[in-house]
Amino acid sequence: MKKLIIKDMSFKFNEQQNYFFHTINITFESGNTYFIQGKNGVGKSTLFSILQGTAPRNALLVGTVVYDNKECIMRNNCIDQQLSSHVKTVVQNVNTMIVDAMTVEENLKLASLPMHPRCKPLSSIIALPAIMHEFTIDPLMNVEQLSGGQKQILAIMMALQKPTQILLLDEPTAALDEKNTHMVIQFLNTLAQKMDLIIIIITHDKELTQTYAQNRTIIIKKDIHETRTITFSS
């Protein structure tokens, strides 16, 4: 089991501003799905951008990030590329992550393209079409025919086409009904276990975190001195 440990991390955009979050300590373990809750502007997305290595360069960030017992070097607010290159994000609007005029299989292949695509045939799929089969997604289906939940699952699978250890999702169920929400969360749980991933989800949906209580919920609060992390475990 691998652990991602965030130690005494504080963040603010500049000297004059109050802290977004102050001395937070969170431990994530692989094979699990975590939910992050908090009001708008408490720094949930900022935490994601720190893990991706895209936090603003001129902001004030202190603290350490330890992954798999190795401390990640922070330079100019960017964590070591060795870790950030294994962090993948699924954005809130998944339509920007998929090509609806093409098939599921083509989409999966496109997600693994290199930075500069070459004049050679598309590579074959490396990730798990078997998991997708469990969720009745046929690789030859056109993406336009997929439901909202299936599109979300496809976007997650596409994000995983390149080597990934930590998967971040920004409100993946915001636009989904109950049935699709259940399908996506179930999929994420299966994925975390099968691929030994750390999955972190931002959500505003309290019902969601209560329903899926076997997962852990981290609530970040803005007030500088009272910022604390609360963990519900199963």
Partner 1 sequence: MVETILIIAEQALLHFPLILGAYISVSLMKVPDLSIESAYVFGALCASTALPFVHHLPSIVSIPIIICASLSGGICVGLTSSLLTQKAHIPHLLSSIITIGIFHGVSQLIAGVYLSLSGYKNLLTIEIIPLHPELPFLGIIFIICTLIAIYFFKTELGYSLAVFGNNPNFFANYGISSSYIFMIGIIIANALAGLSGYLFAQSNGFADINMGFGKLLLCVTALILGKSIHHKTLSVITPIVGLFGYFTLQQLLLKVGFDLRYFTAVQALVIVIILISHYKKNESLNSDHLGV
Under the criterion CB under 8 A, does residue 196 sit at the interface with partner 1?
A: no
- Give the one residue of 2, 7, 86, 162 binding partner 1; rule: CB under 8 A: 162
Could you tell me the CA-to-CA distances from 185 to 37, 67, 120 in Å, in that order? 16, 25, 36
What is the rounded distance in angstroms from the CA atom of residue 89 to the CA atom of residue 136? 23
Residue with smaller CB distance to partner 1, 116 or 225: 116
DSSP structure string for 201-222: EE---HHHHHHTTTSEEEE---
- Give the one residue of 6, 108, 157, 159 binding partner 1; rule: CB under 8 A: 159
Q: Return the range that interacts with partner 1 (CB under 8 A); candidates 133-141, 155-163, 169-177, 193-201.
A: 155-163
Under the criterion CB under 8 A, does residue 225 sit at the interface with partner 1?
A: no
Contact between residue 229 and residue 24 where contact means Cβ atoms under 8 Å apart? yes
Under the criterion CB under 8 A, does residue 130 sit at the interface with partner 1?
A: no
- Give the one residue of 59, 102, 128, 174 binding partner 1; rule: CB under 8 A: 102
Residue with smaller CB distance to partner 1, 164 or 190: 164
Q: What is the dihedral of CA 135, 204, 24, 52, to 10 degrees?
A: 50
Under the criterion CB under 8 A, does residue 140 sit at the interface with partner 1?
A: no
What is the rounded distance in angstroms from the CA atom of residue 157 to the CA atom of residue 112? 11
Residue with tokens 């373990």: 29
Under the criterion CB under 8 A, does residue 110 sit at the interface with partner 1?
A: yes
What is the rounded distance in angstroms from the CA atom of residue 190 to the CA atom of residue 207? 20
- Give the one residue of 120, 124, 226, 234 binding partner 1; rule: CB under 8 A: 120
DSSP 231: B
What is the rounded distance in angstroms from the CA atom of residue 52 to the CA atom of residue 226? 26
Q: Return the range that interacts with partner 1 (CB under 8 A); candidates 113-121, 175-183, 192-200, 211-219.
A: 113-121
**E strand spans, 126-206:** 166-170, 198-202
Under the criterion CB under 8 A, does residue 91 sit at the interface with partner 1?
A: yes
Q: Return the range that interacts with partner 1 (CB under 8 A); candidates 23-31, 37-45, 73-81, 158-166.
A: 158-166
- Interacting residues with partner 1 (CB under 8 A): 89, 91, 95-102, 106, 109-123, 158-159, 161-162
